Structure 1
Amino acid sequence: EAAARATPGQTAQVAIINGQGAETGKATLTQGATGLLIKVEATGLTPGWHGIHIHATGQCEAPFTSAGAHINHGDPKQPHGLLNADGPDDGDLPNVFADAKGAVNAEVFTTRARLADTGPGQWLLDDDGSALVIHANADDHSSQPIGGAGDRVACAVIKAQ
């Protein structure tokens, strides 16, 4: 049986805000046939690696706990971590790197989320939307509940336009 495929091409561009509510960048999400490409352009982060995840609720009120937990609607729910033998959950993404000036310019790809109405992964544009959240620290991709990624320091609301 062929894997589910999405119709490619749908895009969404979303503003990334920091804990003070200032816009510090943008994320561009582009639907592919087998997954979602997420381009992240942001400033104002501490230099080094940062965990980044897709969260289940499209709300970004500091300290961004309003974004809820990761999208993880499977039954049973998957444990966190790209390197977890029993994971990953649907919100897990590779880390992004902020340069010495605190700027991130990265692309990450996931087969576990989608903008398209049908296809592989969790649909991000449900009634309450979803959020892209950048954390203070790197994600170790295995420990629970969030891989040691720490506080939520930036957030972008993903909702139907």
Structure 2
Amino acid sequence: MRGLLIATGLMLLSQLASADPAQLTAPVKGPDGADLGKIVLQEGPAGVLVHYDLHGLKPGWHGSHFHAKGDCSDPKFMNSGGHVAVANETLEHGFLNPKGTHSGDLPNIYVASDGTVLSDTFTTFVSLHGEKNRPGLLDTDGSALVIHENPDDYIHPPIGGAGARIACAVIK
């Protein structure tokens, strides 16, 4: 009986370890390299679920976008490039823009008075590996999730007035 329980336990552990290969965790860093928490990305059939678990940020609303390069090595996070987009994308920035939204747009996040964020959002504009004609976050140079100092107004290119980049997570 004990052998059966051990074998069953090992089988369950094996299934749990491989149950979700389409999930990835990325640390979020500030301009000085300080740890600001993590994001967890999980592929779904129609897009990507983004889970934020952050601390040490200024309270209030902040823009959040997927950027084209998985490089957060400079303190202003400019090496992460512009927003993620499909090839030849002609849409502009912002959920409310009459010309359409582009693939890197995400909803604003709200930082509580204690500097924390614990929330989820979902985007149908990207995938982890480029499925269903959506840009892949895990392409050859990866991508980044960037948090900005101000909220995104969802309409004005290129970043909706979201301001400086204050936090960054490399997605590779």
Larger radius of gyration: 2
**TM-score greater than 0.5 by the shorter chain:** yes
Tell me the amino acid that sits aligned with residue 46 of structure 2.
T
Structure 1 or 2: larger strand share? 1
Stretches of 4+ moved more than 6 A in 1?
none
CA contact (8 A) 2:43 2:49 kept: yes
2:44 to 26, 32, 46: 32
Return the offset for 1:60: 0.4
Q: Could you tell me which runs of 5 or more consecutive residues in structure 1 were left unpaired when the two chains were aligned.
A: 1-7
CA contact (8 A) 2:30 2:168 kept: yes
* Cα offsets for 1:61-85 (capped at 9, x unmatched): 2110010000123424310001111
Relative to the length of structure 2, the TM-score reads 0.84
* Cα offsets for 1:94-144 (capped at 9, x unmatched): 000000011111111111111145235211111100000000000000012
Q: Distance in 1 between matches of 2:152 and 2:87?
A: 22
1:137 correspondence with 2:150: yes
1:65 correspondence with 2:75: no
Where does residue 131 of structure 2 map in the other structure?
118
Structure 1 or 2: larger helix share? 2
CA contact (8 A) 1:134 1:153 kept: yes
Return the offset for 1:146: 0.5
Identity within the alignment, %: 43
Please tell me the root mean square deviation across aligned C-alpha atoms, in Å.
Answer: 1.4
Where does residue 150 of structure 1 map in the other structure?
163
Residues matched between the structures, number: 152
Structure number with greater CO (CA < 8 Å, separation at least 6) is 1
Q: Distance in 2 between matches of 1:120 and 1:48?
A: 34
1:44 correspondence with 2:53: no
Q: Note closer, same or farther for the CA distance 1:69–1:97 as it changes in structure 2 (3 Å cut).
A: same
1:95 correspondence with 2:108: yes
Relative to the length of structure 1, the TM-score reads 0.90
Q: Could you tell me which runs of 5 or more consecutive residues in structure 2 were left unpaired when the two chains were aligned.
A: 1-19
Q: Distance in 2 between matches of 1:72 and 1:64?
A: 18
